[in-house]
Amino acid sequence: MKIGAHVSAAGGIFNAPANAEKLGCEIFQVFSRSPQGGPAPKLTSEVLAQFKSEMKRVKIDDFVIHAPYYINYASTTPRIRYGSISIIRDELERGSLLGASYVITHLGSTKDAGQKLGFHKTWRGIQRVLDGYTGTTQLLLEGAAGAGDQVGGTFEELGALLKNIESAPKYKNKVNICLDTCHVFAAGYDLRKKSDVLATLKKFDAAVGLKRLKLIHANDSKFGLNDHRDRHEHIGDGEIGREGFATLIKHPKLKTVPFIIETPWDTKYQQDLKLLQKLRG
Ligand SMILES: [Zn+2]
Ligand SMILES: [Zn+2]
């Protein structure tokens, strides 16, 4: 599988490929707009041409876009709910122009709506994102650490979301899943020993289906199993440890699933990438 990292797009998205090359990425992840908010920088024909020529120059042919963090399909505030739907749709359209494989979205929280209505609003919101969409970039739903009222903190809930989205045939296989190892571990699924990883993948397979897993965010965890806290740590330095990552990265069923690090941005960032590449063999 391809191994890469989340990279900076400071100064313009056309700077991302060079940042990825510097780190030794085989694939990369980037924000196409500020993750905290504000209007998206325009993708003019000059920007698109510059981005594509940079991709060619650095010989990286695959990348993904992480959507902003403030997305909440379940919000009872129309501005937030409809804003989320239109921003994710816009990200998919932007991704299609740029040539991204995936847009990854967080799922938000049912804090204002309550669990039942919030869950319904979430899958209906995702259907609305897809209505009339004909682009090439696919949408991935990211599993959560299961803090508070977050949507997507269990494999069962992710499976149920896909099932509800696909209750109308036109949405079949339009949406898939991204798992973050730190979130999975924080949500209570063990990844420390080889046997833990195999058991966790089995649970995911039963609840969602392994073939729906299209991307892994490879992050170790500062906090413990089932702590529901999302703090990324360098690979091998956290509570998950090296054995878990070595097992995941060599798993035959994950051969085509890219791994992307989002570990703390410091002097060890590149080492994390190199370590995963070494563990892959
Ligand atoms: Zn994420
Ligand atoms: Zn996280």
Distance in angstroms (rounded) separating the CA atoms of residues 86 and 103: 13
How many Å apart are CA 170 and CA 224, to the nearest integer? 40
Q: 155-164: list long-range contacts, CB under 8 Å, 24+ apart.
A: 155/189, 155/203, 155/204, 155/206, 155/207, 155/208, 156/207, 157/119, 158/207, 158/208, 159/207, 159/208, 159/209, 160/119, 161/107, 161/119, 161/122, 161/123, 161/126, 162/208, 162/212, 164/120, 164/123
Ligand closest to 66 (CA) is: 1
- At 136 the pLDDT is 98
Rounded distance from Cα 145 to ligand 2 centre (Å): 7
The rounded Å distance from CA 180 to ligand 2 centre is 7
CA dist., res. 18 & res. 188, Å (int): 37
* Nearest Cα to Cα of residue 26 among 281, 239, 258, 264: 258
Place of tokens 């949500």: 187
The ligand whose atoms approach the alpha carbon of 103 most closely is 1
pLDDT at 241: 98
Kindly report, residue by residue over 169-205, the tens digit of the pLDDT.
999 999 999 999 999 999 999 999 999 999 999 999 9
Band the pLDDT of 145: cuts 50, 70, 90: very high
Task: Please give the distance, rounded to the nearest whole angstrom, from the Cα atom of residue 140 to the centre of ligand 1.
Answer: 10
DSSP 68: P
CA 142 to ligand 1 center in whole angstroms = 6
**What pLDDT, on a 0 to 100 scale, did the predictor assign at position 35?**
93
Name the closest ligand to CA 107. 1
Measure 76 CA to ligand 1 centroid, in angstroms. 22
Span 88-104, pLDDT tens digits: 999 999 999 999 999 99
**What residue spans define the domains of the chain?**
3-280
> Cα of 144 to ligand 1 centre, how many Å?
8
Burial status of residue 205 (CB atoms within 10 A of its CB: 0-12, 13-18, 19 or more): middle
Q: How confident is the model at residue 139 (pLDDT cuts 50, 70, 90)?
A: very high
Three-class DSSP labels, 198-227? HHHHHHHHHHCCHHHEEEEEECEECCCCCC
- Ligand 1 centroid to Cα of residue 108, in Å, is 11
Residue 64 CA: which ligand is closest? 1
Q: pLDDT by residue (tens digit) across 224-235?
A: 999 999 999 999
Mean pLDDT of 131-146: 97
The Å distance, Cα 182 to ligand 2 centre, comes to 6
> Looking at residues 250-266, what average pLDDT do you find?
97
Q: How far is the CA of 253 from the centre of ligand 1 (A)?
A: 22
Question: What per-residue confidence (pLDDT) applies to 208?
Answer: 98
- Give 6-54 pLDDT, tens digit per residue: 999 999 999 999 999 999 999 999 999 999 988 999 999 999 999 999 9
Q: 3-280: what fold?
A: TIM Barrel (3.20.20)
Tell me the ligand closest to 260's alpha carbon: 1
Distance between CA atoms of residues 152 and 230, nearest Å: 14
Mean pLDDT of 72-87: 97
Query: Which numbered ligand comes closest to the C-alpha of 218?
Result: 2
Please state the rounded mean pLDDT for residues 157-162.
98
Among the bound ligands, the one closest to the CA of 219: 2
Categorize the per-residue pLDDT at 249 as very low, low, confident or very high, splitting at 50, 70 and 90: very high
Distance CA 247, CA 196 (A): 10
For the chain, percent of residues with pLDDT exceeding 70: 100
- Helices (DSSP H) in 24-77: which residue ranges? 45-58
